[in-house]
Amino acid sequence: MIIILFGPPGAGKGTQADNLVKKFGLVQLSTGDMLRAAIEKGTKLGIEAKAVMDNGELVSDHIIIGMIKERLKEKSEGNGFIFDGFPRNIEQAKALDILLENLNRKIDSVIEISVNDEILIDRIKNRAKEMKDARSDDNADVLQKRLKVYHKNTEKIIPHYKKKGKLVTVDGMKSIDEVRHEIEENLKLNI
Ligand code: ADP
C-alpha cells in the first residue's frame, strides 16, 4: 500500500502518520525528518537545508527528490510506504509518479487533512509556544510563512491527484480520534 498524507502545517499529519505506521505496518517516509537528521549530522546538505527551512521556504526539488529516490531503494517497506510532507509541489508530485512507475508501483490513496486557516493560525501560535526552542522553524512567523507556501505551492497538487481519482479529503478540524477513524475507514477500502 502506498499512501500520501498531506495538509497544511499544524493539520496533524505527524500524529496521523504515527497511527498509520502502527496500525497498517507501513514505513513512514518524512522528508522533514530526513532533513532534520541531515541537520543533526551537520552534513553539507543539512547546513544548506537549515537556512531554507528556518525561513519557511521549500528545500530544492533536486535535493528532496534525490533523498526520496535513495530511500525508496534502501528501505525495507513493511506493508508499504506512507509519504509525509512529500510531495510539496507539482514538480515533486510528477517526479514521484515517475519513480513509482519505474518500480512498478502505484499510489493507493492521497489523504488531504483539511483545516481552515483561522484554526491553523491558532494552533500554530500554541504550537510555537509549546515548541519554544525545540524546532527553529516552529516560531509563529515562520509557521505563517509556511502556511503561505502551502497555499501557493502544495495545494496545487490537489487537482493532480483528483484527476487520478486518488484524493480523499478528511476534516482535520474534528478530534484526533475522529480524523484517525475517517482515514482508517477510507484506507480499508483500498486493502
Ligand atoms: P510539518 O511540521 O508541516 O510536518 P515538515 O517537517 O514536513 O513540516 O517540514 C519542515 C520543513 O522542511 C519545511 O518547511 C521545508 O522547508 C522542508 N521540507 C520538508 N519536506 C519538503 C519537501 N518535500 N520539499 C521541500 N521542502 C521540504
According to DSSP, the residues that pair with 114 across neighbouring strands are 171
pLDDT over threshold 80, residue 43: yes
Q: Which of 183, 190, 6, 3 is nearest to 90 (CA)?
A: 6
Please give the average per-residue pLDDT across 67-84, as a whole number. 85
DSSP 78-129: BT-EEEES---SHHHHHHHHHHHHHTT----EEEEEE--HHHHHHHHHHHHH
Give the tens place of pLDDT for each residue, 116-135: 999 988 887 787 777 666 66
Q: Is the pLDDT confidence value at 65 over 90?
A: yes
Among this protein's residues, is 162 annotated catalytic? no
pLDDT of the residue at 37: 96
Does the C-beta of 26 come closer than 6 Å to ligand 1?
no
- pLDDT for the residue 76: 66
Question: Ligand 1: does its nearest atom lie under 6 Å from the Cβ of 86?
Answer: yes
**Is 135 considered catalytic here?**
yes
Q: Report whether residue 16 contacts ligand 1, using a CB cutoff of 6 Å.
A: no
Q: Whose CA is nearest to atom 16 of ligand 1?
A: 53
Report all structural domains of the chain as residue ranges with CATH numbers, in order of start.
2-181 (3.40.50.300)
What is the pLDDT at residue 191? 59
Question: Which residue out of 69, 94, 105, 135 is catalytically annotated?
Answer: 135
Q: Is 75 a catalytic residue?
A: no
Place of cell 512529500: 86
The cell numbers describing 137, all together, are 522553524
* Closest ligand 1 atom to Cα of 88: 23
More confident of the two residues 152 and 190: 152
Please indicate whether residue 127 is annotated as part of the active site.
Answer: yes
Amino acid 127: pLDDT:
76
Q: Is the CB of 13 under 6 A from ligand 1?
A: yes
pLDDT in tens, 132-183: 666 667 777 888 899 999 999 999 999 999 999 999 999 999 999 999 999 9
pLDDT above 90: residue 36: yes
Are the C-beta atoms of residues 42 and 156 closer than 8 Å to each other? no
C-alpha 13/C-alpha 30 separation (Å) is 10
pTM of the model: 0.90
Q: Which residues pair with residue 81 across a beta bridge?
A: 2, 27
